[in-house]
Structure 1
Amino acid sequence: MSHILTTDALDAEQVEAVLALARTVRETDGVDALSEQTLLRVRHGALGRSRFHLAHVSTDRGQVLGGFAFAEAAPGEPDSAELAVAPAFRRRGLGRRLLDDLFASAGARGLRVWAHGDLAAARALAASAGLERMRGLWKMRLPLRATERAAAPELPEPRPAPKITEILEIRTFRVGADEREWLRTNARAFADHPEQGGITLEDLRQREREEWFDPEGFFVAVDPRDGRIAGYHWTKTHADGAGLTDGEPVGEVYVVGVDPAWQGSGLGRVLTLVGLRHLRDRGLPWVLLYVDEENRPAVRLYRSLGFELWESDVMYGRTDR
């Protein structure tokens, strides 16, 4: 027997149970069922924006967490959701119950559900609920040093156009000084992508408190005359290898953003190369990134630098909304 608890806040015991479930799913499936954003919400909360769905299952050891789902509202957009079922409790209809509960609790604009890794089980669950593929997010990778199969690609020296060098300087992010200006640029750069463009000051500060955060790998292109940030490349290091190694740290192009006023200037490519060379010079063997499959200019840029498709995430929804 199972029941689902829906709440907007988790206590310490519930947080630990969800994190443990996420680790077990990762070990079994080889892919994270819950995104970084969801895990931040689990650990820190976001009252008024988030809903947590906890599926408890009765066992001879009492009630245990068999599944978990999360949904977050964004103004003017469908809710964004994810779910995970513990391997020991799969094929019992728990995933479908969580999915139905997510849709029953969704806002007026409906719901979109992310499936990470594009696994067969997720495709089957989506089909059983009448969901269709709405969007794809590519996960790409690039070796930063030679492997058994291939030599590491050459990373060109960043060569900014005169317009960039005459106006902007590229430096590292200054914690306590750059946050609000970075938020302005990020919102403009990702105005059409609410997941990234909607990041708040508290969201940013939560990331600054994460163990992986390193301002030395967070590059911003700034106009020194007024302090305006024209673009940025925020890199990240995954201490656990992110599935690319057996525990040796790897890098990530966490996010690259360029203010619309500077798009088409070549600034994005310059910043990308600055960050990639930083990760290479740290001795990391691989770098990964996520990019929307419909973002053809970005895909072309990353392919030109040697990135190849590795995995993909899929967003599902109902077209009648």
Structure 2
Amino acid sequence: MTHVRTTESLSPDEAAAVVALAEAAGAHDGVAPLSEQTLLRIRHGASAGTARFHLAAEAPSTADPAAGGAGPAGELVGFAFAARADGEPDSAEFVVAPEARRRGHGAALLRSLADDAPREGLRVWAHGRTEGAVALARTAGWTQVRGLLKMRMRLRADERGVPAEAQQHGGGAALPEPVLPEAVGRQVVIRPFRAGDDEHEWLRANAAAFADHPEQGGMTLADLREREQEDWFDPAGFFLAEETATGALAGFHWTKVHADGAGLADEPVGEIYAVGVDPAWQRTGLGRALTLVGLRHLHERGLPWVLLYVDEENRAAVRLYESLGFSVWDADVMYAAR
């Protein structure tokens, strides 16, 4: 029997248990079950009304179901998170401990998410097209409503630190020079991010560049500050294209280094974390130049791979990354009830 407790906050012990469960599942499945944003909410908490945490435990058979209220008894066997915004379906993801699977805990978490969802409904992310996630979605009668492609490119030609199953994907990248078009180069300079000075202007440029993107475009100052406190944050790998006449940002390329190899290697690998261009500067070649600036930075660090995430419907971005040498590696899928 699965006992699921729903709450808007986690204690430090609960947060630590959830992170440990997610790490165990990621090591078992080869793909992280929870997004970075969810992990930040687990560790730092969330504003009132914006998040719901579902904690699943395997209740002892002798438990009195009428007792209720005290939370789940026994070890944590599953966890789900739902991000909530007014007028929108909940956006959720969940994970079940590897040793506790095939006992109905995943179905119980899905029911808990659905029962707790607002009238607008529920959508659930599955990270990686794993057999279990596909089977559970099919059983629940859910369909795909969004796809997030995971793409990768080899940066280093040797095989050091590269798993055997990944060695078939060719040699290292031959990266072009990140040359700005002449008209753009006269108006824009590319420089690193300055923590403490650039936050507010970056938030403006990010919101403009990702006005149609539900996650990236909604980043707040608190979200940015949380990332600045992460071990991976490096302003030297956060590139801004600044208008020389006004000081406004025309675009940016934020890179990230995954110390754990992100399932690609047994050493650190890079990520194109976010590339954004203000609408006034789109279709000028600035986005391609910024992308190459960040890629060359990661290449110069000696990293074997670089990865990225891109909406599969964003064909222009997919074509750009393919032209640079990226190929599709996996995908995250969002499901919804029919």
CA distance in 2, matches of 1:301, 1:108: 39
The question of 1:266 aligning with 2:285 is answered yes
- State which of 91, 114, 137 in structure 2 corresponds to 1:126: 137
Aligned to 1:38: 38
Q: Is the 8 A contact 1:257 1:268 kept in 2?
A: yes
Q: Is the 8 A contact 1:117 1:313 kept in 2?
A: yes
Aligned to 1:51: 52
How far 1:222 moved relative to its partner? 0.7
Q: Is the 8 A contact 2:2 2:104 kept in 1?
A: no
CA distance in 1, matches of 2:123, 2:211: 19
> 1:98-137 counterparts in 2 under 5 A?
98-137=109-148
The question of 1:68 aligning with 2:79 is answered yes
CA distance in 1, matches of 2:173, 2:10: 46
> 1:132-151 counterparts in 2 under 5 A?
132-147=143-158, 149=168, 150-151=170-171
Mean alpha-carbon deviation: is it higher for 201-210 or for 149-158? 149-158
How far 1:123 moved relative to its partner? 1.0
How far 1:9 moved relative to its partner? 0.5
Unaligned runs of 5+ in 1: none
- State which of 279, 285, 293 in structure 1 corresponds to 2:312: 293
The question of 1:277 aligning with 2:296 is answered yes
CA distance in 1, matches of 2:234, 2:60: 43
Q: Is the 8 A contact 1:185 1:258 kept in 2?
A: yes
How far 1:188 moved relative to its partner? 1.1
CA distance in 1, matches of 2:278, 2:85: 22
Size of the aligned set, in residue pairs, is 317
Aligned to 2:250: 230
Aligned to 1:217: 237
Q: Which secondary structure state, in structure 1, belongs to the residue aligned with residue 215 of structure 2?
A: helix
CA distance in 1, matches of 2:82, 2:28: 23
- State which of 173, 181, 190 in structure 2 corresponds to 1:161: 181
Aligned to 2:69: none
How far 1:226 moved relative to its partner? 2.1
CA-based RMSD: 1.3
Taking a change above 3 Å as real, the CA distance of residues 154 and 17 of structure 1, as seen in their structure-2 partners, is: same
How far 1:59 moved relative to its partner? 6.1
List per-residue Cα deviations over 1:13-55 (Å, max 9, x = no partner): 1011101100110111111110111100000011321100000
How far 1:147 moved relative to its partner? 3.8
Q: Is the 8 A contact 1:74 1:194 kept in 2?
A: no
Q: Which amino acid aligns with 1:32?
A: A
Aligned to 1:318: 337
Aligned to 2:17: 17
Q: Which amino acid aligns with 2:32?
A: D
Q: Is the 8 A contact 1:9 1:47 kept in 2?
A: no
List per-residue Cα deviations over 1:39-83 (Å, max 9, x = no partner): 0000001132110000012469x6110000000013443221000
Aligned to 2:198: 178
Q: Is the 8 A contact 2:2 2:108 kept in 1?
A: no
Q: Which secondary structure state, in structure 2, belongs to the residue aligned with residue 212 of structure 1?
A: coil
| TM-score normalised by length of structure 2 | 0.91
Unaligned runs of 5+ in 2: 62-72, 160-167
